A and B are shown apart, each in its own frame.
Chain A
Amino acid sequence: MTFRTFTLLMVSFALAARSTAQIQINLDSLASKAKESVEITLDSSMLKMASNFLSSEKSDDAKVKSLITGLKAITVRSFKFAQEGQYRPGDLQPIRAQLRAPSWSKIVGVDDKDGRRTSEIYTKTDQGKIVGVAILSAEPKELSVVYIEGTIDLAGLANLGGNFGIPPISIPDQKKPKGKE
């Protein structure tokens, strides 16, 4: 094997590894500044345990159980701050850099003019199936990152908001639905 061939092989292995590697989310420095934080990290073994616990008989549990079947990992980092300016927009850049890998596509990107509110959704596909979702959400006093690895039903996940007594989010400047029933 020539040196050139070896180098090409190593580069392709590295690219392949990068495209299949989990997204690394390191926002630990924000936890100490947040007034409230939710940090959830579930790997495949914990997801299996979760699936054992959730009941197929109850509709709410069954929907979640169905969604987590086929998942390899779920990571959530969600921070709420007492004041604005407790995090920098650049805190999300290392995550965005990873989501620029060839296997990832940005399917939603909404931000206001001064960039203080952003919503971004990225998906990773493999042979036409969604095998990863990353959601980045930034508000003046809130920052959330959700990363889901594995085969996920995105429509089912979006519609989950109709369960557990959570009404669908309405469009701003329309009246919001009251109550849960």
Chain B
Amino acid sequence: MVSGAIAREADAAGRGNFSMNMEDQLRETLRRRDPTVGFAERVAARAQSGHRAKPVRRLRGLWAASVLALAAAVVLTATSLWQRAQEERAGRQAVLALRIASEKLSQARSKVLWRTENQ
């Protein structure tokens, strides 16, 4: 039976390559990935602006405006971060969904090929 052959082969492969499979899987899981496009440029821009930054002088008359601006910036940043997190979640779900679809397509294809060759 097809199922028995696959199970025996999987079990033998697992026993014969106990530590290598785990190390391979860990390396695969921990493979390197890149940050978003433009990361290096953004870092360099921040580094340059940091060197040219001048001390901020607090003016009494602008204190409230500064606080409001800061609050607005925090809200905008939080919204932006939340949006980004939502986009990342959707992206990862899309990747996983298509991986599963691809895997099932491949399995169906393999079964068809096996049937064809064994008829």
Q: Do A and B have CB atoms closer than 8 angstroms in the complex?
A: yes
| Contact surface of A with B, Cβ cutoff 8 Å | 38, 40, 42, 46-47, 49-58, 61, 64, 67-68, 74, 76, 78, 108, 110, 112, 116-117, 119-121, 133, 135, 137, 140, 144, 146, 148, 154, 157-161, 164-166, 168-173, 176, 178-180
CA A112 to CA B6, docked complex, whole Å: 14
CA A179 to CA B36, docked complex, whole Å: 28
Instruction: Name the A residues within 8 Å of B115 (CB-CB).
Output: 110
Known A-B contacts: A40-B93, A173-B114. Give 17 more (CB < 8 A).
Answer: A42-B97, A46-B93, A49-B86, A50-B90, A53-B88, A56-B37, A58-B33, A64-B94, A76-B100, A110-B112, A135-B105, A157-B102, A158-B105, A160-B99, A161-B103, A169-B110, A172-B9
Interface string of B102-119 (1 = CB under 8 A from A): 111111111111110100
Instruction: Name the A residues within 8 Å of B100 (CB-CB).
Output: 38, 76, 78, 144, 146
Q: Which residue of B lies closest to A133 (CB)?
A: B101
Q: Which residue of B lies closest to A146 (CB)?
A: B101
Instruction: Name the A residues within 8 Å of B104 (CB-CB).
Output: 119, 135, 137, 144, 146
Contact A160–B108 (Cβ < 8 Å): no
Contact B96–A38 (Cβ < 8 Å): yes
Contact B106–A161 (Cβ < 8 Å): yes
Contact A169–B93 (Cβ < 8 Å): no
CA A49 to CA B83, docked complex, whole Å: 9
Instruction: Name the A residues within 8 Å of B37 (CB-CB).
Output: 55-57
Instruction: Name the B residues within 8 Å of A159 (CB-CB).
Output: 102
Given contacts A53-B91, A144-B104, A166-B103, contact A74 B112 (CB under 8 A): no
Q: Count of B residues near A, CB < 8 Å?
A: 45
CA A169 to CA B5, docked complex, whole Å: 15
- Selected from A49, A51, A176, the residue in CB contact (under 8 A) with B9 is A176
Q: Which residue of B lies closest to A52 (CB)?
A: B87
Contact A157–B109 (Cβ < 8 Å): no
Contact B94–A50 (Cβ < 8 Å): yes
- Selected from A67, A116, A171, A173, the residue in CB contact (under 8 A) with B98 is A67
The answer to whether B41 has its CB under 8 Å from any CB of chain A is no
Interface string of B1-24 (1 = CB under 8 A from A): 111011001000100010000001
Instruction: Name the B residues within 8 Å of A173 (CB-CB).
Output: 5, 9, 114
Contact A40–B97 (Cβ < 8 Å): yes
Contact A53–B98 (Cβ < 8 Å): no
Contact B34–A68 (Cβ < 8 Å): no
